[in-house]
Each structure stands twice: as structure tokens, then as C-alpha cells.
């Protein structure tokens, strides 16, 4: 195994460990500040940091959209507005178990990627992928309900939370898929321009929502109360994780990098348990089922790719 490959593995590991920890970190923060203004503070800072790095590394010319402004805006809005708004709003609605549900839903992003690839690029999913989606859905269902189906019937907030988190996860998958449309651009340039345009969408939404009375500008006391979460989300789960993930996948390949997403719910489980949350047997089994479905689909894809490669060689 080459040093470069090991470097790629380490980068992917850093990214998923950071993302696994962000849900438990956000749990107390969401009790102090709404996820909408938190998103502005987080990604506004991330966009600013990206912009400084980009101008230093590639110069002012790298900020030109080259006719792709609308596409970059769509992808940026999906990631830096849609993902954060929906996922953390869902986590807030889900309450105590929100971090567990959110982390497991993040783990099914590879399967959501199959659907996005089908719709966006016409890549029809295999039967194995479709079966994996069904199995993963069963696992998520077990985590959400904890063995009590009535939760989805009587617990309106729980069902709504799951829908929000799922849509948020889909937004990030769309953003990730969009990166393939800019093969000649550096990861830094794509990340920076989408972040800037995405934050513009965040600002528009907040201005309209605040003017309508749906949201209130946070006080300095609230900002101070979430400062530790902000530092974590801006640095580890923001700039560092995004860079590490994109660079790691470029080195080891997406089919290997995707496997690391299985660590997200595991990390979230461990941290949440340490913080005093009592995980039910259904949640654990559900998590195992979901991860098994993802790993199984990955192994099958490897087998098919290897088989095709042998056919081409022969």
C-alpha cells in the first residue's frame, strides 16, 4: 500500500470522524439558537475562509464563474442552505434522539447518490442497489421508531423530522454529484464559489423570514452560548472536513471513500452514549442493518467493476 493511498485513507477518516461528532455537538446548540441563523454564522465564516485561501492560492481570476453561475448557485444553495437548514431543523424537531436519527440518515447518502445518478445522469441502478435501499430503509425505520410504530402516527414531529433530514441529506448528495461537472476546476475553487453563492441564498431566506416575523435575530447571549459549537462546525466539520473528504476521495476513489460514511452513525452513537443517552436495542440493530446494506452494496459494486475489468482485459 503506497504512502499516497494511506494519506487518502487518513483524510477520509478525519472527515467522517468530524461529521460523526457534529450531531452530538449541535444537540445543545439547537436549544439555544435556531438552525437558520446558526447556518449563516457557520457557513458565512466557512465561505470567508475559503475565499481567502482561494485568492492566495489561485488568485482573483479563480472567482470567475465562466458562465456557470446558475449551476453553481443551485449546487451551493443545496449544500450550504438546504442541507444545514433541513438536517438541523429535523434534528431539533426529533429532540433527544435527533443526533442518532440524523447520523444514520447521513449514512444512507451513498444510496441516495444512486438515485441522483439515475435522475441526473441516467445511470440506472442495479437490482442489488435497489435491494440495499430497501434494507437500509428498514434499518432507518427501526432507529426512528425504536420498536414503537406509534411514534410515526402520534409523533407528528418525529415523522416531519425524518422527512426534513432525508431531504437535507439529498441536498448534500446533489452538491457532491455536481462537483463532477467541473473536472477542470480545483476542489478549492468549486467549494469556494458554491459556498459564497449558497450563503447568498441563506441571507435572502433569513431576511425574508425575519421581516415576516418567522425568525428573530439572535442576541449576543445566544451567539456566546453556541460559540464552542460554532468553532467546531466552522473548523473541523466545515473547512477541514470538506477539504479532507474531497481530497481523500480523489486519492482512494469514491467507491472506497463511500465506505467511510458508515463510521458517521457509529461515532455519533458513541458520543451520544457518553453524554448519557440510553440507546435501545432497536436503534443498535437498525444501525447495523443500515450499515450492512451499504457495505453489501459496495462489495457488490466492486465485484461487478472487477468482473468488467477482467472481461475488457481478456
Q: What is the pLDDT of residues 110-144, one digit of tens each?
A: 788 888 888 887 878 788 888 888 888 888 888 87
User: Could you tell me the pLDDT band of residue 300, with boundaries at 50, 70 and 90?
Assistant: confident
Q: Between residues 281 and 156, which one has the greater pLDDT?
A: 281
Buried b (16+ CB within 10 A) or exposed e, 73-93: bbbbbbbbbbbbbbbbbbbbb
pTM for this predicted structure: 0.84
CA distance 312 to 158: 49
43, 126 contact by CB (below 8 A): no
Q: How many domains does the chain have?
A: 1
> What integer is the mean pLDDT of 154-183?
84
How high is the pLDDT of residue 154? Answer: 59
| Whole-number pLDDT of residue 168 | 93
**Residue 38 pLDDT > 90:** yes
Q: Which of 49-58, 96-105, 260-269 is the most confident on average?
A: 49-58
Summarised one tens digit per residue, pLDDT across range 180-219 is 888 889 989 999 999 999 999 999 999 999 999 999 999 9
User: What's the rounded mean pLDDT across residues 56-68?
Assistant: 95
Residue 29, C-alpha cell as written in the block: 446548540
Structure confidence at residue 82 (pLDDT): 95
> Which of 76-80, 128-132, 237-241, 258-262 is least confident?
258-262
- Which distant-in-sequence residues (6+ apart) come within 8 Å of 42 by Cβ? 84, 230, 233, 234, 238
Percent of the chain with pLDDT over 70: 93
Q: What is the mean pLDDT of the chain?
A: 86
Domain of 36 in residue numbering reads as 3-313
Amino acid at each position: 500500500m503506497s504512502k499516497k493511498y494511506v494519506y487518502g485513507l487518513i483524510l477520509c477518516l478525519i472527515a467522517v470522524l468530524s461529521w460523526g461528532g457534529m450531531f452530538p455537538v449541535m444537540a445543545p446548540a439547537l436549544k439555544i439558537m435556531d438552525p437558520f441563523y446558526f447556518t449563516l454564522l457557520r457557513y458565512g465564516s466557512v465561505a470567508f475562509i475559503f475565499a481567502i485561501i482561494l485568492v492566495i492560492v489561485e488568485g482573483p481570476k479563480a472567482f470567475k464563474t465562466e458562465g456557470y453561475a446558475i449551476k453553481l448557485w443551485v449546487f451551493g444553495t443545496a449544500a450550504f442552505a438546504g442541507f444545514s437548514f433541513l438536517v438541523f431543523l429535523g434534528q431539533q424537531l426529533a429532540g433527544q434522539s435527533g443526533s442518532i436519527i440524523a447520523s444514520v440518515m447521513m449514512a444512507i447518502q451513498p444510496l441516495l447518490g444512486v438515485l441522483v445518478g439515475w435522475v441526473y445522469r441516467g445511470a440506472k441502478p442495479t437490482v442489488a442497489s435497489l435491494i440495499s435501499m430497501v434494507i437500509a430503509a428498514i434499518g432507518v425505520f427501526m432507529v426512528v421508531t425504536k420498536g414503537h410504530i406509534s411514534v410515526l402516527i402520534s409523533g407528528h414531529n418525529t415523522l416531519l423530522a425524518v422527512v426534513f433530514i432525508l431531504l437535507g441529506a439529498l441536498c448534500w448528495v446533489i452538491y457532491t454529484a455536481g462537483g463532477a461537472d467541473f473536472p477542470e476546476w480545483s476542489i478549492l475553487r468549486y467549494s469556494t464559489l458554491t459556498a459564497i453563492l449558497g450563503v447568498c441564498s441563506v441571507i435572502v431566506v433569513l431576511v425574508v423570514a425575519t421581516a415576516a416575523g418567522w425568525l428573530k435575530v439572535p442576541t449576543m447571549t445566544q451567539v456566546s452560548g453556541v460559540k464552542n459549537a460554532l468553532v467546531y462546525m466552522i473548523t473541523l466539520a466545515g473547512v477541514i472536513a470538506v477539504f479532507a473528504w474531497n481530497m481523500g476521495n480523489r486519492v482512494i476513489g469514491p467507491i472506497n471513500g463511500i465506505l467511510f460514511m458508515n463510521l458517521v452513525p457509529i461515532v455519533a452513537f458513541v458520543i451520544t452514549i457518553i453524554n448519557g443517552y440510553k440507546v435501545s436495542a432497536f436503534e443498535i440493530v437498525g444501525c447495523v442493518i443500515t450499515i450492512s446494506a451499504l457495505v453489501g452494496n459496495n462489495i457488490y459494486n466492486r465485484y461487478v467493476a472487477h468482473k468488467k475489468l477482467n472481461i475488457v482485459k481478456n
